[in-house]
Amino acid sequence: MSSPERTELLVLEGVLTADQVARTVQGVLAVQRPDGAIPWFRRHHLDPWDHTEAAMALDVAGEHEAAERAYDWLARHQNEDGSWYAAYHDGDPRDVTDRGRESNFVAYVAVGVWHHYLSTGDDAFLDRMWPTVCAAVAWVLRLQQPGGQIGWKREDDGTPVNDALLTGSSSVHHALRCALAIADQREEPQPDWELAVGSLRHAIRRHPDRFLDKNHYSMDWYYPVLGGALRGAEAKERIESDWDRFVVPGLGVRCVVPNPWVTGGESAELALALWAMGESDRALTILQDIQHLRDPKTGLYWTGYVFEDRAIWPEELTAWTAGSVLLAVAALGGDEATCSVFGGEALPGGVEPDCCG
């Protein structure tokens, strides 16, 4: 159960009071199924990435047993090849609604497992999940291209889609570093993973032409920072370059330009990226700006808001949006596990090639 100490950690001026923290945590728990699955919302679908994000939020709230059930769900339903499907109806593994398998969805289990371990210190959990993480990483790396970028997915029939997405590859970069941290903790060196993450980071930093052009999406803007491939001056330059394109003062972050639509998940993730850059003040402002998306009854957050029409859209309260808010608040509040996972200084960096030296 959530402790008063954990609740206090998530209190943030202008964002969440202690009562609101408790309501949001209960809102996420109410979405979780008895088998551990966390769909977007009840009677909707689950995807492995957002499921993991919601589980991480439960850990920052001290709901470690609920988070562990979420990871056990992933372990039980991992495909034999190491992947997961892109979507399951309300978390039911018998009802797969998208049989594609996306690389960043598969990789993200490593981020969640490492975060849970840092939150609990549970060596038995890490031992139990190690084969799951290894199988997932092996599946993802089979999609890595000669230039370092990660192919987007495999179709239902197994055909690889080798085109790479910058957002997805940046998320995979983060996941591979967490997988390396797990390997280091277990004293099981993975030199191939080190080379893979270094090559991927080099592609993100130096070769934008290796990724599909999706620069009208805000995630392509901030994810190289959030995923840890860019830090320092490179990160600051990237964020400053498109701040005015994507940030709507007082409302949050656009999902896509030029659409007049701000979204809670993208806004909270940008706040987390800003925190990782050392810009906590701007991160706090973003989190304060999106509180208009909060539903006071459930404690959850609406996915987005069309500001030209002054309308919530779509009309859905998603566990993962609440999860992203709680993770950003946890980082600002100094939660050690969250700071370690998203700050990046404590994560292995791999070996970056010097092909452009």
pLDDT in tens, the chain (357 residues): 567 778 888 999 999 999 999 999 999 999 999 999 999 999 899 999 999 999 999 999 999 999 999 999 999 999 999 999 999 998 566 789 999 999 999 999 999 999 999 999 999 999 999 999 999 999 999 999 999 999 999 999 999 999 999 999 999 999 999 999 999 999 999 999 999 999 999 999 999 999 999 999 999 999 999 999 999 999 999 999 999 999 999 999 999 999 999 999 999 999 999 999 999 999 999 999 999 999 999 999 999 999 999 999 999 999 999 999 999 999 999 999 999 999 989 999 988 888 776
Joined tokens for residue 121: 């210190």
Query: What is d(CA 132, CA 27) in angstroms, rounded to the nearest whole number?
Result: 28
Strand partners of residue 98: 87
Query: What is d(CA 72, CA 78) in angstroms, rounded to the nearest whole number?
Result: 10
| Predicted local distance difference test score (pLDDT) of residue 266 | 98
| Predicted local distance difference test score (pLDDT) of residue 117 | 98
Q: Could you tell me where the DSSP H helices lie in the chain?
A: 4-9, 18-31, 48-60, 64-77, 103-107, 109-120, 123-141, 166-185, 191-206, 218-226, 232-246, 264-276, 280-289, 319-333, 336-343
Contacts within 8 Å (CB) and 24+ apart, 306-314: 306/260, 306/261, 307/248, 307/251, 307/260, 307/261, 307/262, 308/260, 309/260, 313/261
**Chain centre distance of CA 348:** 18
| Predicted local distance difference test score (pLDDT) of residue 91 | 57
| Predicted local distance difference test score (pLDDT) of residue 2 | 63
Q: Is 207 left (phi over 0), alpha (psi -120 to 50) or beta?
A: beta
Element (H, E) at 302: strand 301-302
Query: What is d(CA 68, CA 48) in angstroms, rounded to the nearest whole number?
Result: 14
| Predicted local distance difference test score (pLDDT) of residue 102 | 98
User: In the block, which residue shows the tokens 């190690």?
Assistant: 130
Cβ-based neighbour number of residue 72 at 10 Å: 16
Joined tokens for residue 128: 């139990």
